[in-house]
Amino acid sequence: MNNEKIIRDEAREFCKNSSLANPYTETSVKLQDLKHKLYDFYSDEYKAIFLDEIQKTIAEDLQKHRDNSHAGNPSPECQYEIVAEKTLFYVNQELGILPKVVHQKYQQETKLERNKVFISYSHLDKDYLNDIQRHFKPFKNDIDFWDDSKILPGQKWKEEIKRAIAETKVAILLVSTDFLGSEFIATDELPPLLESAEKDGAVILTVILKPCLFEEFDDLNKFQAINPPSRPISKMDENEREELYVNLVRQTKRVLSKG
């Protein structure tokens, strides 16, 4: 067993058996226990690994709570969520003060496997994203589905998006005029996703949401869309839309099953 595996296992065990496991323990107590635990690690690199696994475990538990108690949605008044989000904020602060070169080295070493499904979309098309999330939800144990709603308070959102893209196997592009006109998508999301498709075997699945000049964008239209630009989702009736979303999930599962 390598050192990283040992530390990650220890982090999950710590989450399970320490004050972090009690959603009603005050945040200050949780942080005191966490800081005390960090003294066990002599190197900043090991501290970064331990904290990263703590962060992931808390985020996973928070999402499970939301799925079980709030239909998958955040609930700002929920005490469990308030404490979890505060803890995540301070864990991120601890990660942020580690020597930058160590943290960058760790991030580079940990993006090993491409297994995420990344959704690139304009926030003006959020209703379409909600429909697609609904179709992927039955497979949440099998498909690592990621969109920017997974970014929790306290996390550095650009870094989280960059990290998710680095782990993407399937990129689903929800194309509309607002998508094509988004400066952030054009500069921060599409270039690394398209580069991943060219160099690392990531697969691009395009869905045309609304009438737009998709054919004018050569970098995008070389990837065949799930539906033709002449038949955007906005023109479909409910059954046709549902069939398209089912096909989108089916195509995604097929790609992921090939490894």
Q: Answer with the one of 95, 110, 125 that is the final residue of a domain.
A: 110
79 and 134 share a domain?
Answer: no
**pTM assigned to the model:** 0.55
Tokens standing for 33?
A: 């226990």
Mean pLDDT, rounded, for 26-53: 78
128 and 252 share a domain?
Answer: yes
The per-residue pLDDT for 72 is 83
Q: What are phi and psi of 171, to 5 degrees?
A: -105, 120
Name the CA dihedral angle for 90, 38, 99, 7, rounded to a multiple of 10 degrees. -110
76 and 23 share a domain?
Answer: yes
14-23, 46-55, 71-80, 102-111 — which is least confidently predicted?
102-111
Q: Are 205 and 252 in contact (CB under 8 A)?
A: yes
Q: Answer with the one of 81, 110, 139 that is the final residue of a domain.
A: 110
Q: Answer with the one of 54, 84, 110 that is the final residue of a domain.
A: 110
pLDDT, one tens digit per residue, over 40-91 is 766 777 778 888 888 888 888 888 888 888 888 888 888 888 888 878 777 7
> What's the domain range around 81?
3-110
174 and 97 share a domain?
Answer: no
Long-range (24+ apart) CB contacts under 8 A made by 138-143 are 139/249, 139/253, 140/67, 142/253, 142/256, 143/117, 143/252, 143/253, 143/256
> Given a cut of 90, is residue 242 above it in pLDDT?
yes
- Give the contacts of 224 (CB within 8 A, at least 6 positions apart): 206
17 and 79 share a domain?
Answer: yes
Give the rounded distance of the alpha carbon of 243 from its chain centre: 25
> Given a cut of 50, is residue 99 above it in pLDDT?
no
Domain count, the chain: 2
The per-residue pLDDT for 244 is 94
pLDDT, one tens digit per residue, over 167-195 is 888 989 999 999 999 998 988 888 888 88
